[in-house]
Amino acid sequence: MAIHSLALAASSCCQKLHRHSSMASSPPNPSLFCFLLFFLLTATADAADAATAAAAAGAKSLEIGLGSEKSTHLRVYFHEVFRGANVTSLNVVKGNGNYPSRFGNIDMIDAALRTGADARSRVVGRAQGVSFHVSQEEEALLIEFVLLFTGGEYAGSTMTVVGRVDAAGRGDRAVVGGTGRFLLARGHMVTQVLTSSVDGLVAVYDIYVMHYDYPRHA
């Protein structure tokens, strides 16, 4: 359809050029111009049609290979331990300044994900990553970690989460990727701290994601 429309436009243009050149005292070569114009317009239309076909084929391939995109709401409980034999958070870098906010500190995290707030509830995964103290004025963390699911229907799958939280643990975080049952995940995670003390904290994660279910990678 695109080539046919362009051919009609080129033909109309060439007819006008022929009429104009017949009245000129030293007319240019209208045939050569028309040929070049038609060739250029045809090549452009071919490229546009090829790009459209490739995009359609890519979308069809994605749909066939991965199935339909899904929407999932998942709730897990994050259990972090600061002291004792089962510490799950470890300071690995201390900032070079005397900041009350501990600006510049870096901590490693490997905390349990459970089905409930009770420390005896079933473990379904780990939250593994790093937290950076990023504010000079207040306690605030930039946290990057992977939610690794080790039990339940999502065992073997992961989600990658990045975002900032304040001293109270408030702050939405972005889900920027995933594997297995959460392939190509994107969405956000809402955090609510349930209990917090010098010994540790428990938070609930409500995760809302769009993703493809690809259990062969699980």
Radius of gyration of the chain (CA): 30
In terms of Cβ atoms closer than 10 Å to its own Cβ (0-12, 13-18, 19+), residue 95 is middle
**pLDDT band at residue 43, thresholds of 50, 70 and 90?**
low
| Segment 24-33, tens digit of pLDDT | 544 455 555 4
pLDDT of residue 137: 87
Q: Which whole-number Å values give the CA distances from 22 to 18, 31, 35, in the listed order?
A: 6, 12, 18
pLDDT of residue 62: 53
**H-assigned helices in the chain:** 2-23, 30-66
B/e letters for 126-165, b = 16+ CB within 10 Å, e = fewer, are bbbbebbbebeeeebbbbbbbbbbeeeebeebbbbbebeb
Torsion angles phi and psi, residue 142, rounded to 5 = -100, 115
| Segment 165-218, tens digit of pLDDT | 988 888 899 999 999 999 999 999 999 999 999 999 999 999 999 999 876 544
CB atoms within 10 A of CB 114: 20
Whether the predicted model's global pTM rises above the 0.75 cut: no
**pLDDT band at residue 97, thresholds of 50, 70 and 90?**
confident
- Closest C-alpha to 129, from 113, 112, 143: 143
Taking the C-alpha atoms of 195, 88, 141 and 193 in order, what is their torsion angle to the nearest 10 degrees?
-20
Check pLDDT > 90 for residue 127: yes
**Domain locations in the chain?**
2-66, 70-217
Architecture of domain 70-217: Beta Barrel (2.40)
Tell me what the mean pLDDT of segment 10-20 comes to.
Answer: 54
**pLDDT band at residue 66, thresholds of 50, 70 and 90?**
confident
